[in-house]
Chains A and B, each alone.
Chain A
Amino acid sequence: MNGLLPEGVRDFLFADTERRRSAEERLGYLFRRWGYRRVQVPSFEYLDTFRAAAEEEELIKFIDDRGRILALRPDMTPPLGRLAAGELAGEPRPLRLGYAGQVFRFHGPRRELRQVGVELVDYRGPAADAEVLALAVESLREVGCLDFRLGVGHLGFLAGIFAELSLAQPARRQILERLSRRDFVALEGLVAELAPGGHAGELLRELSVRQDREALRRLEGGLTQPAARQALEELQATFDLLEAYGAAEHCHLDLSLVRDFSYYTGLVFEGYLPGLGRPVLGGGRYDGLLAAFGQDWPAVGFALDLEEAVAAGEGGGGPALDYLLLPESQTVREAIVQAGELRRQGWSVEVAPAGLEPEAADRLARARGAARAVRVHDGVSPC
Chain B
Amino acid sequence: MLSVALSKGKMFDDSVQLLRRAGLLHRELVAESRQLAVEDGPFRFILARARDVPTYVEYGAAQLGMVGKDVLLESPDSGVAELLDLGFGYCRFVLAGPPQARGWEARSGKLRVATKFPRMTEEFLARRGKSAQIIVLHGSVELAPALGLADLIVDLVSTGRTLRENGLVELESLAEATARLVANPVSFRLRAREVATAVAALRTALGREGDGR
Contact = CB atoms under 8 A, between A and B. Distances in A.
Interface of A: 107-108, 149, 151, 181-186, 188, 205-206, 208-210, 252, 254, 270, 272-279
A185 B83 contact: yes
A278 B80 CA distance: 10
B211 A205 contact: yes
A185 B82 contact: yes
B104 interface: no
Given A184-B83, A277-B60, A210 B196 contact: yes
A210 B84 contact: no
A312 B88 CA distance: 39
29 contacts: A107-B77, A108-B77, A149-B189, A149-B190, A181-B79, A182-B80, A182-B82, A182-B188, A183-B82, A184-B82, A185-B84, A185-B180, A209-B213, A210-B192, A210-B193, A210-B196, A252-B189, A254-B189, A272-B186, A272-B190, A276-B60, A276-B186, A277-B58, A277-B59, A277-B184, A277-B185, A278-B79, A278-B186, A279-B185
B160 interface: no
B185 A278 contact: yes
B81 A182 contact: yes
A272 B82 contact: no
Nearest to B58: A277
A210 B81 CA distance: 14
Interface of B: 58-60, 77, 79-85, 180, 184-186, 188-190, 192-193, 196, 211-213
B46 to A, nearest CB: 15
Nearest to A208: B213
Contact of B189 (A151, A185, A186, A206): A151
Contacts of B77: 107-108
Nearest to B196: A210
Contacts of B185: 182, 277-279
Contacts of A181: 79
Contacts of B180: 185
Contacts of A205: 211
A363 B79 CA distance: 35
A181 B79 CA distance: 7
Contact of B211 (A209, A274, A278): A209
Which among A108, A186, A275 has the greatest number of chain B C-beta atoms within 10 A? Answer: A275
Contacts of B59: 277
Contacts of A183: 81-82
Given A185-B82, A276-B60, A277-B59, 15 more contacts: A107-B77, A181-B79, A182-B79, A182-B188, A184-B84, A185-B180, A206-B213, A208-B83, A208-B213, A210-B192, A274-B190, A275-B60, A277-B58, A277-B185, A279-B185
Nearest to B188: A182
Contacts of A208: 83, 213
Which among B84, B186, B193, B213 has the greatest number of chain A C-beta atoms within 10 A? Answer: B186
A84 to B, nearest CB: 31
Nearest to B192: A210
Contacts of B189: 149, 151, 252, 254, 270, 272
B91 to A, nearest CB: 16
A186 B60 contact: no
Nearest to A257: B189
Contacts of B184: 277
A205 B208 CA distance: 14
The 6 closest A-B pairs by CB, nearest first: A182-B81, A277-B60, A210-B192, A185-B82, A183-B82, A272-B186
Contacts of A278: 79, 185-186
Contacts of A279: 185-186
Contacts of A277: 58-60, 79, 184-186
A276 B189 CA distance: 12
Contacts of B85: 185, 188
Nearest to A182: B81
Which among A186, A277, A279 has the greatest number of chain B C-beta atoms within 10 A? Answer: A277
Nearest to A212: B192
A276 B193 CA distance: 18
Nearest to A108: B77
Nearest to A270: B189
Contacts of A186: 82
A254 B190 CA distance: 11
B141 to A, nearest CB: 27
Contacts of A149: 189-190
A254 B58 CA distance: 20
A65 to B, nearest CB: 35
Nearest to A188: B85
Which among B79, B84, B184, B192 has the greatest number of chain A C-beta atoms within 10 A? Answer: B192
Contacts of B84: 184-185
Nearest to B86: A185
Contacts of B213: 184, 206, 208-209
B117 to A, nearest CB: 19
A277 B190 CA distance: 11
Nearest to A148: B190
